[in-house]
């Protein structure tokens, strides 16, 4: 069980990648908390709230988990066969256990962002600018 920390925006945005073994329960809340405690202990991050009323009492700030949900872009040029495969994939994903549940995350701390899957870039479109 290993992890890697990457500071994307120092003091604001941190990416933590976990490398868990086979058949290890994914208790991301617990693992995440342990990593943050270690980062605070090493002085790499400060988790006290930025609000002055909360900062006075040394209350920790909020944490959010961002899950990226993939969906098929309208601009993808796929053959009938490829589109059928992708539709079948998304149908299976619809009936499968959600990532929120499988990671053991509390839904009040989760934001889901939709990310389009683009397999082929759209045709080059030539636009001409008109003079005003």
Both 129 and 69 in one domain: the answer is yes
Both 41 and 76 in one domain: the answer is no
Both 53 and 72 in one domain: the answer is no
SS3 100: helix
For residue 56, give its domain range: 1-63
Measured distance CA(28)–CA(17) in Å, rounded:
11
Measured distance CA(91)–CA(101) in Å, rounded:
18
In angstroms and rounded to an integer, the radius of gyration of the C-alpha atoms of the chain is: 21
CA 95 → CA 14, 49, 65, 92, 98, distances in Å?
A: 31, 39, 22, 5, 9
Both 70 and 131 in one domain: the answer is yes
Name the token pair of 96: 């499968």
Both 128 and 78 in one domain: the answer is yes
Both 12 and 51 in one domain: the answer is yes
Measured distance CA(61)–CA(63) in Å, rounded:
7
Per-residue pLDDT 10s for the chain (132 aa) are: 889 999 998 877 888 888 887 777 777 778 888 888 898 888 888 777 777 777 777 777 777 788 888 887 777 777 889 888 988 988 998 898 888 887 777 777 788 888 887 766 656 678 888 987
Both 92 and 57 in one domain: the answer is no
């Amino acid at each position: 069980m290993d992890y890697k920390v990457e500071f994307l925006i120092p003091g604001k945005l941190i990416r933590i990648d976990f490398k868990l073994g086979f058949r290890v329960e994914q208790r991301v809340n617990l693992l995440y908390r342990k990593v943050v405690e270690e980062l605070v202990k090493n002085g790499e991050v400060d988790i006290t709230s930025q609000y002055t009323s909360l900062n006075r009492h040394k209350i920790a700030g909020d944490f959010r988990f961002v899950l990226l949900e993939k969906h098929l872009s309208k601009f993808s040029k796929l053959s009938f066969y490829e589109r059928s495969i992708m539709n079948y994939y998304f149908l299976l994903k619809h009936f499968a256990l959600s990532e929120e549940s499988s990671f053991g995350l509390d839904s009040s701390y989760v934001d889901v962002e939709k990310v389009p899957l683009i397999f082929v870039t759209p045709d080059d479109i030539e636009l001409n600018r008109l003079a005003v």
